[in-house]
Amino acid sequence: MNHSIPPPAGAAAGTRTKRPLDTVVKMALGVLFGSFALIWGGMFLSRPDRSIPPYSIGSQERTLVAVHVPPWTSDTEIETLIERFRKIGGESRNFGAMKIHPTTPDDPQGRYQHIAIYIFTEEGWTEPEVLHKYVTGEDAIVREGFERSLRGFYRLDGQEEEGRMGPILRGKDSAATTAYSRQLFKGPVVADVKETPAGSRSGP
């Protein structure tokens, strides 16, 4: 009696064994993912504590500071970061603890009397040359893109402060852009700020 013997696994006709990845390809992938891990890890470890999202200072020109947060950072987490800036502005004004260089180093009233912090999830907008073009206003396209790409904003001018989510509005924005922009606070500096923990949402 003839009994058919099944072929060993992987020996079926037409089955092709997969070629292993080339060593150079493996190295390239390792460098790519390793770079992302280093960037994220550096941002995570550089934050003062774990109650705010990871961030890095992309560039600074005088009183203007461009901050980068990871693309997956939620609106609630960005709002938490803005509230931290607000708390510092109303108390110690020591933004040095947030990795920001003095913005008014020669002011007898303090080294951080005026500051404007722009928060982005797209790292390209935080490059020094981009911030410089925004400050000088030499490129209208860059200026418009800079303000439209904002995820959050904090400004301190002496005893006045402002915080908002979303892009800066200039009067010719679409309804969608206007809906995305939200004022958090604006007015005299508040000395005793109760921060909103990440994961909960404060009112507008």
- Taking the mean position of all CA atoms in its chain, how far away is CA 5? 62
**Structure confidence at residue 185 (pLDDT):** 95
**Structure confidence at residue 204 (pLDDT):** 38
As given in the structure block, the two tokens for residue 79 are 């709002």
Q: Cα separation of 65 and 103, whole Å?
A: 9
pTM over 0.85: no
User: What does each C-alpha distance from 177 to 110, 141, 157 come to in angstroms?
Assistant: 36, 17, 26
Q: What is the pLDDT along the chain (204 residues), one digit of tens a residue?
A: 555 555 555 555 555 555 666 776 777 777 777 776 776 666 555 555 678 999 999 999 999 999 999 999 999 999 999 999 999 999 999 999 999 999 999 999 999 999 999 999 999 999 999 999 999 998 999 999 999 999 999 999 999 999 999 998 776 655 556 667 889 999 999 877 666 665 554 443
**Structure confidence at residue 177 (pLDDT):** 60
Sign of CA dihedral 96, 100, 105, 107: negative
Q: Cα separation of 88 and 65, whole Å?
A: 15
**Structure confidence at residue 29 (pLDDT):** 75
Q: Distance from first CA to last CA of the chain, Å, rounded?
A: 84
Phi and psi, residue 38, nearest 5°: -65, -40
Phi and psi, residue 165, nearest 5°: -105, 150
**Structure confidence at residue 203 (pLDDT):** 40
Q: Which amino acid is at 165?
A: M
- Taking the mean position of all CA atoms in its chain, how far away is CA 18? 41
**Structure confidence at residue 202 (pLDDT):** 41
Sheet with 182-188, strands from edge to edge, namely 56-61, 64-68, 114-120, 152-157, 160-165, 182-188
Q: Are strands 64-68 and 114-120 parallel, antiparallel or unpaired?
A: parallel
